[in-house]
Structure 1
Amino acid sequence: MTQPSAAATLAPLTNVGATLAAMQNAMDRVNGLPGLVCLYGRSGYGKSSAAAYTANKTRAYYVELKSLWSTKHILINILRDMGILPANTVAEMLDQACEQLALSGRPLIIDQADYLVDKGRAQILMDLYEGSKAPILFIGEERLSGSMKSRNNTVHRRVLHWIEAQPASLGDCRALARLYCPELEVGEDLLEHINRVVDGCTGRVAVNLNLLAERAKVHGWARADLATWKGQSAADQRLYTGEPGRKA
């Protein structure tokens, strides 16, 4: 399955670095240690971007789950990313996936893993891991850790690293500014303002930096700080917050 593409995967963001480090640690772990890694946290904190970057750096197989997928659909899509023709039965597909993971030495990334827990299918993580001993990174929303512990403690106990996605830091905002506003010098007070308004949401920081870059071209700005931004009309200085019909 095609890995997600996101501009932020090119920026050295906090969650990107933490996820890659945890996955590499799981790949290099001492025999006997568990090999599951979980990245969880609020929507908008760049978890899928971290997954994309980690997948590219580690050559991981990648699958993003859909809410209506059965176990069969999950395995079919994992095998498709592996370039393997799925067998006839679910049990055979599981064996195929485990064999490829073991032989290739490549990890597996499963995004939107909340669907596994919600549908009572988290055991597939255990089956894939026990059948291959390959590192597996699974990703979901902020409730994933608690849900996994209450619904499938066997899987929960096999997790080597729990990574809670963090809101965008000022350093993250600087990195995103270099990516989205390469021809504009952005003042730190403006970056702090944008980050505060969007509550640390990495995706919305990126959207607003793109807006800033467009505004800079219109006005011919070479540098923009908070005073520059506040010098516009009230309507023009509003930022995108994700709320329909509302800006801040």
Structure 2
Amino acid sequence: MNEPLNKALPGGVVPIASLDLVSVALEALMTRHANVAGMGVLYGPPGRGKSMAAGAMVAQYRAYYVQVRRVWSVKVVLQKVLLEMGVAAPNKATTADLLDLITAQLAKSGRPLILDEADYLIRSDSLIETVRDIYEGSKKPVLLVGTDELRVGLRRWKQMHSRVYQWVEAPAVSLADAVKLATVYAAGVQVAPDLLAEIVARVDGSVRYTCVNLARIRDEALVSGEDEMTLAKWGGRGIYTDESEGVV
């Protein structure tokens, strides 16, 4: 029997555009027709809020979430997924045994699996084909999260590519997003529209840098005793971007 899902967002999570898109995509995977493939890919440049959005899905959809590491082998990936699931494997379990345990748990729970930093999975046939085996064995949603290289790289595996039902490009941060983020990352400080617009114009779409700049604004406002920060008041303090020196 599938475990109940919690559609409410966890406390403190800001419903910016990237999160909304991922939520819609995962909902589509969860409610798709039985004959429709059930994999999804969330892709985009670093800093677009992909991991933040994927992490929110852990609470919203009770998703299993694993952040893949560069050095992991097939067996280690399977062991980490089982660890996230809270499923114990026998000491002498083979790779095939681990795979069977994962697919059985996904099928039983009905919960989706999210694999972040999935670019590392396309470095070998065995890794990406193992992910396909997980999906085929459970028929439950699997969401891969990575850069645009993931989207392009998956074309090398036609059988895998054809099982992707939802392709979601993480959007650039917008002014509307920045307004919402300011309520959390610059809490207690009124950030003026002109300063928010300047941040959005400078961070090249990055949600991460937007959050960093908002946190800096809050810190500077507290130090200077300001309850409002405008572009003029911010003056020459600079805006953090992906430039090599950080502040420009």
- Does residue 62 of structure 1 match 2:65? yes
Q: Is the 8 A contact 1:15 1:50 kept in 2?
A: yes
Alpha-carbon distance in 2 for matches of 1:218, 1:62: 38
Partner of 2:29: 26
1:137 to partner: Cα distance: 0.6
Alpha-carbon distance in 2 for matches of 1:183, 1:63: 34
Partner of 1:12: 15
Partner of 1:125: 131
Structure 1: state its 5+ residue gaps: 1-6
1:242 to partner: Cα distance: 3.9
Q: What SS does the corresponding residue of 1:59 show, helix, strand or coil?
A: coil
Kindly provide the CA deviation profile for residues 174-204 of structure 1, in whole angstroms up to 9, marking residues without a partner as x. 1110001121111111111012111121111
Partner of 1:139: 145
Partner of 1:214: 219
CA 78–207 in structure 1, closer or farther in 2 if over 3 Å, else same: same
Q: Is the 8 A contact 2:12 2:184 kept in 1?
A: no
Q: Is the 8 A contact 2:16 2:180 kept in 1?
A: yes
Partner of 1:4: none
- Does residue 42 of structure 1 match 2:45? yes
1:77 to partner: Cα distance: 0.5
Aligned residues, how many? 236
Q: What SS does the corresponding residue of 2:25 show, helix, strand or coil?
A: helix
Partner of 1:241: 241
- The one-letter amino acid of 2:149's match is R
Partner of 1:116: 121
Structure 2: state its 5+ residue gaps: 1-9
Q: What SS does the corresponding residue of 1:85 show, helix, strand or coil?
A: coil
- The one-letter amino acid of 1:21's match is V
Q: Compare 72-81 and 83-92 and name the one that shifted more.
A: 83-92
Q: Is the 8 A contact 1:8 1:176 kept in 2?
A: no
CA 85–26 in structure 1, closer or farther in 2 if over 3 Å, else same: same
Alpha-carbon distance in 2 for matches of 1:48, 1:8: 17
Kindly provide the CA deviation profile for residues 12-51 of structure 1, in whole angstroms up to 9, marking residues without a partner as x. 1111110011101111111101100110010010110011
Partner of 1:99: 104
Partner of 1:78: 81
Q: Is the 8 A contact 1:9 1:53 kept in 2?
A: no
TM-score (normalised: structure 2)? 0.91
Q: Is the 8 A contact 1:62 1:110 kept in 2?
A: yes
Q: Compare 26-35 and 216-225 and name the one that shifted more.
A: 216-225
- The one-letter amino acid of 1:245's match is E
Alpha-carbon distance in 1 for matches of 2:67, 2:203: 26
Partner of 2:192: 187
1:244 to partner: Cα distance: 4.3
Partner of 2:161: 156
* Percent identity of equivalent pairs: 37
1:125 to partner: Cα distance: 1.9
Alpha-carbon distance in 1 for matches of 2:150, 2:56: 21
Partner of 1:3: none
- The one-letter amino acid of 1:36's match is M
TM-score (normalised: structure 1)? 0.91
